[in-house]
């Protein structure tokens, strides 16, 4: 088996894959949603560290800008993530 992660021993990786193989579809889906939530929380924590004085709205916009392509952010949310001020909608 080719290692997926360089910091995980092959035996541990094999056991992990066995456990995943035994999990129900619902358990796998729940794990996926948990991983997505964890990624968002970590990203938001990084944004809070970078932009310590940002409002909740600005942080939300910056999170959206990290998760979606720029064109989608502009079209769906009305702001350009590459502008200096992500708080203001694009005019």
User: 65: burial class by Cβ within 10 Å (0-12, 13-18, 19+)?
Assistant: buried
pLDDT at 7: 87
- How is the chain split into domains, by residue range? 10-77
pTM of the predicted model, to two decimals?
0.70
Sign of CA dihedral 69, 74, 77, 81: positive
Q: Kindly state the tokens that stand for 37.
A: 């939530």
Per-residue pLDDT of 68-86, as tens digits, reads 999 999 999 998 988 866 5
Q: Closest Cα partner for 66 from 52, 49, 86? A: 86
Per-residue pLDDT of 47-59, as tens digits, reads 999 999 999 999 9
- What is the Cα–Cα distance from 68 to 82, expressed in whole angstroms? 13
Average pLDDT across the chain, whole number: 88
């Amino acid at each position: 088996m080719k290692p997926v992660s360089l910091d995980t021993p092959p035996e541990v990786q094999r056991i992990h894959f066995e456990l995943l193989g035994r999990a129900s579809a619902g358990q796998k889906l729940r794990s996926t949603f948990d991983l997505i939530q964890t990624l968002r929380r970590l990203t938001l924590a990084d944004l809070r560290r970078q932009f310590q004085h940002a409002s909740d709205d600005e942080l939300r916009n910056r999170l959206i800008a990290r998760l979606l392509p720029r064109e989608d952010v502009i079209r769906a949310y009305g702001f350009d993530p590459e502008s200096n001020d992500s708080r203001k909608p694009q005019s």
